[in-house]
Chain A
Amino acid sequence: MIVENPRVLRRQKIMAHGFLWVFIALIMFPFLMVVSISFREGNFTTGNLFPTNPTLEHWYLALGLDYTRADGTVIKPPYPVLRWMWNSVKVGLIASAGIVSLSTISAYAFSRIRFRGRAALLDSLFIIQMFPTTLALVALFAIFDGLGEITPLLGIDSHWALVLTYMSGITLHIWTIKGYFDNLDPAMDKAAQIDGASPWQTFRFIFLPLAVPIVVVVFVLSFIGVVNDYPIASVLLRSEDSMTLAVGSRLYLNEFKYLWGDFAAAAILSGLPITVVFVIAQKYLVSGLSDGAVKG
């Protein structure tokens, strides 16, 4: 290992690259297939990796446009994909904004203000964080069913109900941001205090500007989390028009109405933006991820 023989090293290099190539080919297979399927004719026909008669039909339908086939038949889009996308983006942005503000403010208090029960509260937050929302689905349904009788704004099928539920998922983010705040120099807030700043002013004018990088990370992470959620959205959203992408996409591969080709185009259209955001942000996300996870 330490005294490397050039020939052995070469062989090892070839093996390593070969292994990675084969592995990546396996991993990429589904993606390549989906791209190919989205240009294929029809929803059932199986074909080659490169479609013999490429068509834009599925893409037209995914974008919500009617498609006229060569024989004159007009195909209508099966589902409102763009509307679902808008729903997802809307809920994602509002909920993430809420998550970021709630968790930043809480994290500041946990990191800098001494108050009674602080450590116990932090520990219980950590334990609550482990409980999956799956456990609460039945009650969430009952709660919003009840609230809906007071105001439909918070009932089943309302996006606000969804946003409120997502905004409760802040515990992990509080820990992440608290870890970041803990690393900031305490001399700064001492100085601010001496100059007569209240804790709120210290937070608003000193900590908040410094927290921008971690706030961005938390925003992106929670946005991805919200857009990816299936269980809560599928319980709280019932009508086709109010669905988010994660719930709606399920309709494509129904046993009785199997729209493989249409799904492929819609999947690329909706998955690409999130993927691109993730790949761009991944460097920061990874450090945020392990920081938040490891700091105790």
Chain B
Amino acid sequence: MNNRQTPASMTRKTVSISAISIAFIAMLYAVFSLYMTGQPMIAVLVLIVAVGFAIIYGNGRYYAQRFIFPGVAAILLFIAFPVIYTIYLGFTNYSSFNLLSFERVTEVHLSKRVVDKTSERVFLLTREGTGYRIFFKSDAGGFLSDRVALLDGPETVSAVAVDTPPASPMAMKDVIKLRAPLGQVEVILPDGTSLRNSGLRKFASVQQEFQLSPNGQLVSNIGGPTLTPDHELGFYVDEDGKTVVPGWRTNVGWDNFKRIFTSKGIRGPMLSIFAWTVTFAAASVGLTFAVGLALAMVLQWPHLRAKTAYRILLILPYAVPAFISILVFRGLFNQNFGEINMILEGLFGIRPAWFTDGGLARLMLVIVNTWLGYPYMMLLSMGFLQSVPGDHKRAASLEGAGAWLVFRKITLPQILPPFLPLLIASFAFNFNNIVLILLLTRGLPDIPGTIIPAGETDILGSFTFRIAFMDSGQQFGLAGAITFLIFVVVAGLAYANFVAMRRQAAKRSAQ
């Protein structure tokens, strides 16, 4: 700010520059390690943040940006980037079958070992001082190994031909105790064959199942099929085109989207899930708004007493943590020992199957969500109702309008415009209200005849969650593709909300 270089400001400057440098170097180290562990995309992102950090804090010109950099960096790293990255995954085959990199998959195949049954030899163990010797019987005498320590560590010893078996072999039960160290011993016979422990009583020669040929194929050492890497599928395939797990991550283009739109077992349930998602969100917004507004109007009535007490009681569902209320409802609605069915049976003699009947499960979700959501709408309505001028209503009543007509013609038109952005936001929230679905029904009951588990109460978000993290083999790629579809809907809603908000703000500043 000023150019006087006092000693104090000099030291402060040095301290701050070294602090910035240390932080920058630490971030670069993180970039390097991320890159080395096979996370290039995240590495690049952290690199961008690190460079941005160095520029903004190392240069006096960007004084203002220093204030917002941490916040913007956090949003970039943990909201914007994850959304983009998830969508990117939608174009890959990332799943529990295709989890590793190509190099790692090759290593996995190359590290496979097979036991050659024809070379199996029975062994005996004999103690010698602090160590042991291993003896293999053969037609004429046998082979006795050099001394092994058997102290939990890899050991390689050679064996020589002898005429007689050892005098005092150890008992089986003592040999069993030494199984773990025996597993790490390799014995080389005079003819060069290497033997490893292959069973309780046996050693055998163990060899690599595959060997990497110069053209990239994996050739079997034991007469099995030759495997060729298929980079489009992300798997090694044998001569018949059958894939061998594990596979690796690879870009598959629009395949996941094609699967969604063309595979009948996915498209059918997707459509029904989409329809239910929209219905659920619309019903939730409509009902919470109606109940909330009605209660707000009753509470606003000037002749009503004990308003504060009513208000606190009425917002309780909003105050209790939602995860607790939802789980409470899960218990109350339980078909066999839930309190709701107990009461219904006592009164009407019915026991609705809340969790196994799709329609009833959906009804239950809407009931619970209305219970959870109306206080928010009520609180907002109370605020907006206050801004409706009382003389408009009074004038209308004098003209002979009934209460319903006043509400429809005066109150509603006045509160709806400011409410609109909030209703859109609430719709978007419920469109992705996976907490409710996951805690109450987990999407069950399942729709019959689908390829991937899809539930009748699943909304798009919970469906994605199930594909990615619950059953059906963690298909992150497919989940990413569906996320992209949700993203399109939410982006549309976000934009609509933005426009509604701007319009509202413009109208207010015009007044």
- A-side interface residues toward B, CB under 8 Å? 1-2, 9, 12-13, 16-17, 19-20, 23-24, 27-28, 30-31, 33-34, 37, 44-46, 102-103, 105-106, 108-110, 113-115, 121, 123, 125-128, 130-143, 146-147, 149-150, 164-165, 167-171, 174, 198-199, 203, 224, 227-228, 230-231, 234-235, 245-246, 249-250, 252-253, 260, 263-264, 267, 270-271, 274-275, 278-279, 282, 286, 289-290, 293-296
Given contacts A132-B429, A142-B476, contact A30 B329 (CB under 8 A): yes
* Residue from the list B342, B371, B480, B491 in contact with A46, Cβ < 8 A: B342
Contact B298 A19 (CB under 8 A): yes
Interface flag for B337 (CB, 8 Å): yes
Q: What 17 new A-B contacts, CB under 8 Å, besides A143-B42, A170-B74, A295-B505?
A: A20-B295, A28-B313, A30-B328, A30-B371, A108-B67, A131-B83, A136-B78, A138-B479, A150-B30, A164-B77, A224-B321, A230-B435, A230-B439, A231-B465, A252-B327, A271-B320, A279-B315
Given contacts A27-B314, A138-B476, contact A271 B85 (CB under 8 A): no
Interface flag for B165 (CB, 8 Å): no
* Residue from the list A136, A169, A264 in contact with B82, Cβ < 8 A: A136
In this complex, the interface size class of chain B, counting residues with CB under 8 Å from chain A, is 35 or more
Contact A12 B316 (CB under 8 A): no
Interface flag for B80 (CB, 8 Å): yes
Residues on the B chain within 8 Å of A109, using CB: 64-65, 67-68
Contact A105 B67 (CB under 8 A): yes
Residues on the B chain within 8 Å of A252, using CB: 327
> How close is B74's CB to chain A, nearest CB, in angstroms?
4
Contact A271 B321 (CB under 8 A): yes
Contact B89 A138 (CB under 8 A): yes
State the CA gap A135–B1 with chains docked (Å): 44
Contact with A along B428-453 (1 / 0, CB 8 A): 11001011001100000000000000
Contact A260 B327 (CB under 8 A): no
Can you list 21 contacts pairing A with B, beta carbon distance less than 8 Å?
A: A1-B393, A1-B403, A27-B371, A30-B332, A106-B71, A110-B68, A121-B68, A134-B461, A135-B86, A137-B465, A138-B483, A139-B81, A139-B82, A139-B83, A139-B85, A143-B81, A149-B37, A150-B34, A263-B327, A275-B316, A282-B315
Query: In the complex, what residue of chain A is closest to B77 when comparing beta carbons?
Result: A168
Interface flag for B279 (CB, 8 Å): no
Listed residue (B77, B81, B83, B398) with the most chain A CB atoms within 10 angstroms of its CB: B83
State the CA gap A27–B230 with chains docked (Å): 60
Interface flag for B282 (CB, 8 Å): no
State the CA gap A115–B39 with chains docked (Å): 34
Residues on the A chain within 8 Å of B83, using CB: 131, 135-136, 139
State the CA gap A286–B379 with chains docked (Å): 7
Contact with A along B324-345 (1 / 0, CB 8 A): 1101111110100101001000
Chain B residues touching A, majority SS: helix
Contact A296 B64 (CB under 8 A): no
Contact A141 B465 (CB under 8 A): no
Interface flag for B70 (CB, 8 Å): yes
Query: In the complex, what residue of chain A is closest to B342 when comparing beta carbons?
Result: A46
Query: In the complex, what residue of chain A is closest to B480 when comparing beta carbons?
Result: A138
Contact A279 B312 (CB under 8 A): yes
> Which of B190-198, B263-271, B494-502 faces chain A?
B494-502
Contact A296 B505 (CB under 8 A): yes
Listed residue (B67, B71, B398) with the most chain A CB atoms within 10 angstroms of its CB: B71
Contact A263 B331 (CB under 8 A): yes
Contact A271 B313 (CB under 8 A): no
Contact A13 B30 (CB under 8 A): no
Given contacts A1-B403, A143-B85, contact A289 B498 (CB under 8 A): no
> How close is A159's CB to chain B, nearest CB, in angstroms?
15
Residues on the A chain within 8 Å of B295, using CB: 20, 23
Contact A128 B80 (CB under 8 A): yes
Given contacts A46-B342, A108-B67, contact A249 B324 (CB under 8 A): yes
